[in-house]
Amino acid sequence: MILLYKGRGIARGTGSGPLLISPAPISFLSGVDPESGIIVEKGHPLNGRSIAGTVLVFPYGKGSTVGSYVLYALSQNGHAPAAIINAEAEAIIATGAIIGNIPMVDRIEFPPGTLKDGIRVTVNGDSGEVACETS
């Protein structure tokens, strides 16, 4: 069964992958290794996890505007997320997703318990839709 949710498209394109969910904001400058795609921020709930090829869900970004260029670098070296879902997009992450060609949406009202790490999701940044595969 596929559940379809509608939000706001931020960065165009379509990306699919397993969900990786962070309850905490992410700083791409010094919080994510641009060479490997691994979260390196000490104390972050996803510290040590790779974001490469995932549909990365987090509330919003934090940190310097250089974070946009880290997202671009991740895209260029093949370690970017397949797509991004934010509760609320902000300029740093949105810019990085756009220049890195990473589909991105925000403002989606998921029912509690819908999102679980590892489920397969497709994000359509053109339409703002997210399709979640359930068992």
Give per-residue pLDDT as tens, 38-59.
999 999 999 999 999 999 999 9
CA distance readout (Å), 93 to 89, 97, 130: 7, 6, 18
Q: Which amino acid is at 78?
A: G
Number of domains in the chain: 1
Catalytic residue among 16, 64, 68, 127: 64
Q: Specify whether 75 is catalytic.
A: no
Q: Which two tokens stand for residue 27?
A: 């700083």
Q: What is the mean pLDDT of residues 108-124?
A: 90
pTM for the model:
0.96
DSSP, collapsed to helix, strand or coil, labels residue 9 as strand
> What is the pLDDT at residue 63?
86
- pLDDT, tens only, 117-127: 999 999 999 99
68-85 pLDDT, tens per residue?
999 999 999 999 999 999
Residue 65 has pLDDT above 80, yes or no: yes
**Range of 40's domain?**
2-133
CATH of the domain at 117: 3.50.30.10
Half-sphere exposure of 117 (CA within 13 A, CB side): 10
